[in-house]
Structure 1
Amino acid sequence: MTTDEVNESTPRSTAGPRRGTPRGMRRVAVVALVLAALNLRPGVTSLGPVLEEVRDSLDMSGSVTGLVTSIPAVCFAVVGSTAPALARRFGASGVIAAACGVLAVGLALRSFTFDPVLFVVLTALSLAGIAVANVLLPMVVKQRFPDRVGAMTGLYSMALNAGASSAAALTVPLAQAFGGDWRYGLGAWSVLAALAVPPWLALARRRAQPPAGHIGGAVGPPPAVDPPPAAGGRLSRNPTAWALTAYFGLQASSAYIIIGWLPQIFRDAGLSAGTAGLLFSVSSLLGVPLSLALSAVAGRLRHQGGLAAAIGVCGFAGYAGLWLDPALAPWLWAVLLGIANCSFPLALTMIGMRGRDGAGVARLSGFVQSLGYALSIPGPLVVGVLYDHSDGWRLPLTFVLLLTLVQIAAAVPAGRDRQIG
C-alpha cells in the first residue's frame, strides 16, 4: 500500500484537528481544485464551434460525428466507475494528476491527427481523464475541506462553468489567431490541462487530516446514518444512493438537452442565429455566479431536498415557456433554464454531504456519476427522434417536462439528511 493510499483512503481516528489540510497546503488544494475544474469541460465544449471544420478536414461521416458527440456521456458513465478503485490503490490526488496528464496528451494529439477513427480514439482518451477527475473531486473536497464542503464545491463548480463557457467562446478566436486552423484552436486547451498537473502532484505528497466527526459544515445534531446494506454495504441496495443517482442522471439529461437543442428551439421560433446563440450563452453563464452561491447555501442546510426541488421547478417553468411559445419571453426562458442548470453543482454538494468520509464519498460519487450519466444518454436522443417525427417542438418538450417532474420528485429523497455509512 502506498503512502498516498494510506493518507487519502484510510479513515482516521475521530480525534484530530478541525481542518482537513494544513493552511499552506489548503491554498495549494484550492488552486488544484480550480485548475482541475477549469479542465472538466473544454475537451467537450471546444469541439462544437469548429465541428464543421473538423468534419471537412478529416472527411468525417455523419455516423462518426454522432459517435464523437456521444462520447462524453459514455466515458463519464463507463470510465468514471473505475475512479474509486484507482483512488484506493494510488491515492486520489495522484490519480487526478495522472488524469490531467492524460487529458493534456489526448487533447494535444487529437488536434494533429489526420485519421477520423484516431480522432475519436484520442477524444475518448481525453474524456477518460475528465471522467476520472469528475468523480474524485468531491472526495478531495471532503478530505481537504471537511468544514466547507458546500462552499468549495460551489467554487470548483463555478470554475467548471467558466471553463465550459470560455472554451465555447474562445476556440474560434484562438484558431483565427493561428491562421484559421482549427487544430490550434482545439490543441490550445491541452496547455490548460498541463497546468493542472503540478499542484495535484504536490497534494499527492501531503496527507489530508479529517476532522473530529464534522460533516459538511452544517450545524445542529449529527445526521442519521444509513446502515451499511447487506453484502458489505453495497450502494446498489441503498435508497439514498439511488435517489441521488436518479436526480443526477435526470439533471444531466436536461443539461445535454439544453446544450444540444436550445439554440435550435429558438431558431425554429423565428429568432436569428445570433440571438439564439446569445440566449444559450446566458443560460450557460448564469451557472458561474449561481454555482458558488447555491452550493454555499446548500452546505449550510441539513436538508437540500427543498432547494433541489425549487431548482427543478425553475427548469419546469422554463421548459413550459418554450412549450407555450419560445419567442414570447425568450430571455425569461433562458434565465429559468440557466437556474435549472445549477442542479449539477447542487448534486455534487449533496454527494459530498451524504458520504461519511473521503473514501465513502469516492464510492458514492463513482456510483452516482457512472449510473447517472448512463441514465442521461437516452434523453437528448429521444428528443431528437421526437423532433424528427413530429410537427414542431410540442411533443419533444412534453417529454422533457415529464422528465423534469421525475427529477423534482427525486430531489426530495436525494436531499434527505442521511449519511451513507
Structure 2
Amino acid sequence: MTRSQSSVGEHPAGARPAGPPAGPLTLLGVVLLALNLRAAIAGLAPLLPDVRLELGLGSGTAGLLTTLPVLCFGLISPFAALLGRRIGVQRSLLMAMLVILAGSLVRAAPGIWWLLAGTVLIGAGITVGNVLVPSAVKQDFPQRQGAVTALTTAALTGGAALAAAVTAPLAHTGLGWRGALLVVGAPAAVAAVVWLPQLRRRHVAPPVRLGGAAVLRSPVTWALAAFMGMQSLTYYAMLAWLPTLLRDGGVSAADAGWALALFNLLGIATAVLTPTLAARRGDQRGLGLLVCLTWAACLLGLLAAPSWYLVWATIGGLAQGAGIGLALTLLVLRARTPESARDLSGTVQSVGYLLGATGPVLVGVLHDGSGGWTFPLTTLCVAVAAMAVAVLGAGRDRQV
C-alpha cells in the first residue's frame, strides 16, 4: 500500500490531544529521554577490561553484560507497547527514566549479581523508551516527524558518545568503574524531572485499532525487523568489543576509549542528516544501501589495516549513526498513525533487538574460539550483507 493510498482517513475524527499542546518543553523532554537510551550501555564498554579483571570474567560473560540490555530490548518490547496502551505514553516514559536510574544505582553495588541485576533494569527502562519515543514523536510532532526524529537520534547517539568518552577517565580519578557508571546514569534523573509536566498532557486515542495483528501480517514489518536486527547486531558488537580489539593490538585504554567515543560521536552528524533525508523521499532503498556500504568499509578496514583504527572508527561512526537514524525514521514513516507506530515499533524492536542481542556474545565466543579478531569481523561483514538485503524491502515506499 502506498503512502498516498493510506493517507485517506488514517486519523479518525475525535483523535485529539487533551491538555496543553506540544511545545519547546515537550521537545526538550523528548530529547533528554533519547539522551539516556544508550549512555548507560556505552559507558560500560571502555570499562570491560577493568570489570573482567576485578570480577574474573571470561569474554563470553563480559559480552553478556552488553548483550543483556539488548536482549531486554527484544524480550520486553511487546510489553512496552502494551504498557503504553495501558497507562499512556507520557507515564510510561517517566517510568522508563526512573527504572534506568534505579538500575544504575543497583549495578554499582559490589558483586557480579548486582551488576547483572542493575544491567537488566537498565535494559528494561531503555526498552520502554525505545518503543514509545517514536510514538511520542508521531503523536506530539506530526508535522515535524523527520526533524524531531533527527534530534532524538542525535541525542541518543550523542549520549552514547559522551558516556564512552568519560567513563574511562572518570574511573581513573578515584571513582573506580562503579562510580563512573553512576555518573553516566545520573542524567536519567534530569530527564524524569523535565518530563514530569507532560503527565498533564493526555491523548484521547481513536477507537479504531490499526496495529496489532495487522502489523504482524505485513511484509514491511519483517523487512524492518531484519534491517534493525542486523544493524543492531553489528552496532552492539562493535560497541562492546572495539576497545578490547584495539587494546589487544597495543592501543592504550584511554586511546581505545576515545576511539569508541569517536565511533559514537561522529554518528551524531549522520543521525541528524539521515532522518531528514529519508523523510523527504518516499523510497529509502538507495540511502539504506549506502549505509551498508559504509559499514562494510569500516569492518574491512579493521581487517586489512588495523593500525588505521581512527579512520575505521570514523567511518563506522558515520555508518552506525546513519543506520540507527534510518531504522527509527522508517518506524515512523511506515506507520499510518501514532497507534500503529506504537505497535509497529514494539514488534520491529522486539524481533530486531533479539537478533541484535546475539552480536556481543557471538563476537566474544568467536574471538575465544579462534584466538583472534579475523573470524569475528568476517562474521559481522556477513551481517552487513544481510542488512543490505533487508533494506531493499524496508526502504520501499509502502506502509503497514
TM-score range, shorter chain: 0.7 to 0.9
Distance 1:21 1:323, change over 3 A: farther
Task: Give the equivalent residue in structure 1 for 2:125.
Answer: 129
Counterpart of 1:36, as a letter, is L
Q: Residue 419 of structure 1 aligns to a residue in which SS?
A: coil
**Corresponding pairs, count:** 387
Checking the alignment, whether the CA contact within 8 Å between 2:164 and 2:260 is kept in structure 1 is no
1:196 equivalent to 2:191? Answer yes
- Structure 1 or 2, whichever has the larger Rg, is 1
Instruction: Give the direction of change, closer, same or farther, for the CA distance of 1:335–1:126 in structure 2 (3 Å limit).
Output: closer
Written as runs of structure 1 = structure 2, the 5 A alignment for 1:20-419 is 25-51=22-48, 54=51, 59=55, 61-62=57-58, 65-111=62-108, 113-175=109-171, 179-207=174-202, 233-267=213-247, 275-327=255-307, 329-342=308-321, 343-390=323-370, 392-419=372-399
Partner deviation per Cα, 1:255-300 (whole Å, 9 max, x = no partner):
0222233344445556555554443332221111221111111121
Distance in 1 (alpha carbons) for counterparts of 2:142 and 2:124: 27
Report deviation, 1:66.
4.8
Cα deviation, residue 141, structure 1: 0.5
Select between 32-41 and 387-396 the one with higher mean Cα deviation.
387-396
* Cα RMSD after superposing both structures: 3.0
Inter-partner Cα distance in structure 1 for 2:160 and 2:76: 21
Distance change >3 Å, CA 99–CA 412, structure 1 → 2: same
Give the C-alpha shift of residue 246 in structure 1. Answer: 0.3
Alpha-carbon spacing, 1:92–1:323, altered in 2? closer, same or farther (3 Å): same
Q: Offset of 1:322 from its aligned partner?
A: 2.5
Q: Which runs of 5+ in 1 are unaligned?
A: 1-10, 211-227
Which stretch of the first structure deviates more once superposed, 256-265 or 32-41?
Answer: 256-265
Alpha carbons 1:103, 1:125 under 8 Å: kept: yes
Partners of 1:324 and 1:189 lie apart in 2 by: 34
Alignment-mate amino acid for residue 256 of structure 1: Y
Equivalent in the alignment of 2:4: none
Contact 2:161 2:260 in 1 (8 A): no
Aligned-partner residue type, residue 236 of structure 1: L
Moved more, 137-146 or 180-189: 180-189
Residues 340-368 of structure 1 show CA distances to partners (whole Å, capped at 9, x for unaligned) of 10201110000011111111001011111
> Using a 3 Å threshold, how does the CA distance of structure 1 residues 321 and 51 change in structure 2: closer, same or farther?
closer
Decide whether the 8 Å contact of 1:318 with 1:337 is kept in 2: yes
Correspondences of 1:10-29 after superposition (within 5 Å): 12-13=11-12, 25-29=22-26
Cα displacement string for residues 100-129 of structure 1 (whole angstroms, at most 9, x for unaligned residues)? 112112212332x23432332122112211
Q: Partners of 2:152 and 2:178 in 1: how far apart?
A: 28
For 2:52 and 2:304, the matched residues in 1 are separated by 36
**Contact 2:107–2:119, Cα closer than 8 Å, also in 1:** yes
How far did residue 241 of structure 1 move?
A: 0.2
CA distance in 1, matches of 2:105, 2:359: 31
**How far is 1:250 from its partner?**
0.2
Distance 1:64 1:265, change over 3 A: closer
Larger RCO (CA under 8 A, 6+ residues apart): 2
Could you say if the C-alpha distance between residues 65 and 322 of structure 1 is closer, same or farther in structure 2, counting changes exceeding 3 Å?
A: closer
Distance 1:380 1:61 in 2: 14
In the alignment, the residues of structure 2 paired with residue 64 and residue 308 of structure 1 have an alpha-carbon distance, to the nearest angstrom, of: 33
* Percent of aligned positions that are identical: 37
Between the aligned partners of 1:49 and 1:23, the Cα distance in structure 2 is 43
TM-score normalized by the length of structure 1: 0.82
Q: Secondary structure at the match of 1:348?
A: helix
Q: Report which of the two has the higher share of helix.
A: 2
Question: Residues 369 and 30 from structure 1, CA distance in 2 versus in 1: closer, same or farther, beyond 3 angstroms?
Answer: same
- C-alpha displacement of 1:136: 0.6
1:326 Cα offset (Å): 2.3
Alignment check: 8 A CA contact 2:29 2:191 kept: yes
With normalisation by structure 2, the TM-score equals 0.86
Residues 21 and 145 in structure 1, CA contact (< 8 A), matched pair in contact too:
no
Aligned-residue offset at 1:170: 2.1
- Whether the aligned pair in 2 keeps the contact of 1:68 and 1:123 (CA below 8 Å) is yes
Check conservation: 1:144, 1:209, Cα contact below 8 A: no
Task: Determine the C-alpha separation between the residues in 2 that align with 1:278 and 1:181.
Answer: 18
Contact 2:298-2:315 at 8 Å conserved across structures: yes
- Judge conservation of contact 2:63–2:360 (CA < 8 Å) in 1: no
SS of 2:117's equivalent in the other structure is helix
AA partner of residue 240 (structure 1): V
CA 1:301–1:38 in 2, change beyond 3 Å: closer, same or farther? same
Q: Is the 8 A contact 1:102 1:126 kept in 2?
A: yes
Instruction: Say if 1:396 and 1:50 are closer, same or farther in 2 by CA, change over 3 A.
Output: closer
> Contact 2:165–2:261 at 8 Å: present in 1 too?
no
CA contact (8 A) 2:135 2:342 kept: yes
CA positional deviation for 1:305: 1.6
